[in-house]
């Protein structure tokens, strides 16, 4: 596995984050990895304005994984309504399946649990992404059955090539957080 380090993004990182996210999900470059959405979405996945908003928001950060100055992965981690939120998760397509994604997810969970004392981590996945949902399930996430409509007509989320896209919320209890401690809840 590649040696890398984590850090929180700064505003100057926004363009590099956008380029990474786009390369992991859109266009031909995304087909080098297994997370591509190119078969069912065209257009953009995110923009610098959205990345900057997440960097500047309280109890929110863009987590980066870097090796020798190269951006390998990113994820948005935030406190949303008393639960952790994990999104905008991207790994360079040529580095997928190298363990970087697992490490990113674990670090995001650690931040939500240990630094923000949040009991649960949530994320949304397009519900036709069976392989991606299975990847999260292997890491302890469970499908909630809660579906959210895809924002058709809002080009900020991409240009759908299908008319059956929806989001599903997955969640995982974060062990060791105050509200997931069995002794605390037994008292």
**Span 116-129, pLDDT tens digits:** 999 999 999 999 99
Indicate whether 66 belongs to any domain. Answer: yes
- Structural domain for 17, as ranges: 5-182
The whole-number pLDDT of residue 179 equals 44
The tens digit of pLDDT for each residue in 44-79 reads: 888 899 999 999 999 999 999 999 989 999 999 999
Whole-number Å distance between alpha carbons of 12 and 80: 24
pLDDT per position as a tens digit, 20-44: 998 888 877 777 777 777 788 888 8
Q: Is residue 110 part of a domain?
A: yes
When divided into structural domains, the chain yields a total of 1
Distance CA 72, CA 88 (A): 13
Cβ atoms of 140 and 172 within 8 Å: the answer is yes
pTM, to two decimals: 0.88
Q: pLDDT (tens digit, 9 = 90+) per residue, 69-110? A: 899 999 999 999 999 999 999 999 888 888 999 999 999 999
pLDDT at 30: 77
| Cα Rg of the chain (Å, integer) | 16
Domain with 94 in it: what CATH number? 3.40.630.30
pLDDT at 26: 80
Q: How far apart are CA 92 and CA 19, in angstroms?
A: 10
100 closest CA partner among 74, 131, 130: 74
Q: What is the pLDDT of residue 147?
A: 96
| CA gap 126, 147 in Å, rounded | 9
Q: Is residue 55 part of a domain?
A: yes
Residue 153 in any domain: the answer is: yes
Whether the CB-CB separation of 17 and 51 falls below 8 Å is answered with: yes
Give the span between the Cα atoms of 171 and 145, in whole angstroms: 10
Q: Report the alpha-carbon distance of residue 17 to residue 47 in Å, rounded.
A: 9
Q: Is 187 inside any structural domain? A: no
């Amino acid at each position: 596995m590649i040696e890398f380090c984590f850090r929180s993004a700064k505003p100057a990182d926004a363009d590099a984050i956008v380029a990474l996210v786009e390369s992991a999900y859109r266009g031909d470059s995304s087909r080098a990895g297994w997370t591509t959405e190119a078969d069912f979405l065209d257009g953009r996945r995110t923009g610098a304005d959205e990345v900057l908003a997440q960097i500047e928001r309280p109890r929110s950060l863009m987590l980066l994984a870097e090796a020798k100055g190269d951006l390998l992965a990113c994820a948005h981690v935030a406190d949303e309504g008393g639960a952790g939120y994990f999104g905008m998760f991207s790994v360079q397509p040529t580095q997928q399946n190298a363990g970087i994604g697992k490490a990113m997810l674990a670090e995001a969970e650690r931040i939500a649990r240990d630094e923000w004392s949040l009991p649960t981590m949530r994320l949304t996945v397009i519900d036709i992404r069976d392989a991606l949902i299975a990847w999260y399930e292997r890491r302890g996430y469970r499908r909630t059955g809660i579906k959210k409509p895809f924002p058709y007509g809002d080009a900020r989320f991409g240009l759908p090539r299908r008319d059956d896209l929806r989001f599903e919320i997955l969640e995982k209890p974060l062990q060791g957080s105050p509200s997931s401690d069995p002794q605390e809840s037994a008292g």
